[in-house]
Structure 1
Amino acid sequence: MTSLTQRSSGLVQRRTEASRNATDKDRPSGEEDHEPRRGDEQEDDDTGDSKETRLTLMEEVLLLGLKDREGYTSFWNDCISSGLRGCMLIELALRGRLQLEACGMRRKGLLARKVICKSDAPTGDVLLDEALKHIKDTQPPETVQSWIELLSGETWNPLKLHYQLRNVRERLAKNLVEKGVLTTEKQNFLLFDMTTHPLTNNNIKQRLIKKVQEAVLDKWVNDPHRMDKRLLALIFLAHSSDVLENAFAPLLDDQYDLAMKRVRQLLELEPEGESMKANTNELLWAVVAAFTK
């Protein structure tokens, strides 16, 4: 349960100049660094990937967290596990499967309201369907924060350990292998062998990074309710999973500062108030509240 209490510690600090310079040495030249991104602009305007490469929120957050060549997430990242469970809840809500119970006359807060199954129609994604079945079959229903902890296995109640979704990162990585984004290798770590998933399709990851960067730079609208809900959720959950820095690391210093300033504006929003506005998704803001409270 510790992971949910660490989200309010603020934005991750930028990498050191030395590490940035080391990355720059791997690039052939400044011109080659920018040209491919321009070529991708039109492809990505309409959320544009083909069905084969359209990613879920979980897959996007994992892809941002994976080291390209090594094919695994940072060993020091203890936030991504619960962040991925938050992704599942929002993904199911955006697909019309979940909603929050009515707030009632006493105006319950977001974190006190239970998660209700709106539709149990299969999503076609095994992990999402597994989480949906747990939520549908559980009576009495649980809150958003409880579900993040239960699906992560962060519960002190041994009778509820069966709710834990196991090997989530590995299963998501295999999904990305099937979509042609990653490949599978074995790597030896002195005492043990580990299956890794290095990046094989850099275009898809670059489009994802470009989409996140543009949301807080060129396409910034200064109103979360005018942003695409999925993209808004991605920014919040990438931050909660401690992988948002990876999308901003390639930016120039002034762009980086502006991007982080605008992300900070989003993080300072009050989820209770935002959830009451028109054309909003209450469960999305409940997940945000669980990570930023």
Structure 2
Amino acid sequence: MSDAGARSDSPGSREEGDEGVVGSRAPRALIVTLYGLYGRDRGGWMSIADLVALMADLGVDQQAVRSSIFRLKKRGLLVAEKVDRAAGYRLSPDGEAILAEGDTRIFARTRAAVGDGWLLVVFSVPEAERDKRHTLRTTLARLGLGTVGPGTWVAPAHLEPAVVEALERVGLRGFADLFVGAHVGAASVGETVAGWWDLPAMEMLYAEWVDRCAPIGARWSAGDAPDAQAFADWVDTVTAWRRLPYLDPGLPPAALPPDWTGLRAEALVAELRELLAPRARRHVDRVLARA
């Protein structure tokens, strides 16, 4: 989502290994955000010089940038490539897939209604291949599915395509059966959802993000500042935000506690996007034009 449209404005899901703390500024997490916001509309490739210049505006020095790139390369998210004799890194196919997966989830997420139904994922992995259980659990947890019991996971029904795609990508689709249906338990949906997800922990993370980012919105609403500041604020905002829509997979508001902070957070990120994204892109275009 571009700043005016549908692709390169979305940085994708949490990079594997990011700290789970809202507001983390780990350099590698910032680099993933840069590729998601600005790298893909440049073919998925960015030169080292571009990355160093942009990260300098985020207060990260060259040594930390190079170390973080090495770690992202080692994890298979980036691949080294020269373009016109310039050294740089391109998103790997896995990196592209992870970022594409986040496009809708992060900035155009769906909030389910109770009547939309639920996706149930039941998996069975033979003992001889038990190492795949961890990969399967990690994949489902990363997508924000809740746990019903051992080997049984649940999510709003609209996540079915994302779950199928993720399981196929890691080669585990054959170990899982998927069902879509209504909740007909004796307890209310709200009580049941509270057993499937850790809602207090989720609420705390949303509140932490709002506490961190609401002052940014207030500051920009009160007056203007250089585009470089908009860039720094927007990248920080998105880096802190992009994990949260994966912890909360669009749970129905009717099944959530009253005054759910997640709804306020979604409104705030949309407000900050409108305030900051165009200015941030202007800054990036200027920096890359002279880098």
Q: TM-score scaled by structure 2?
A: 0.34
Larger strand share, 1 or 2? 2
Q: TM-score scaled by structure 1?
A: 0.34
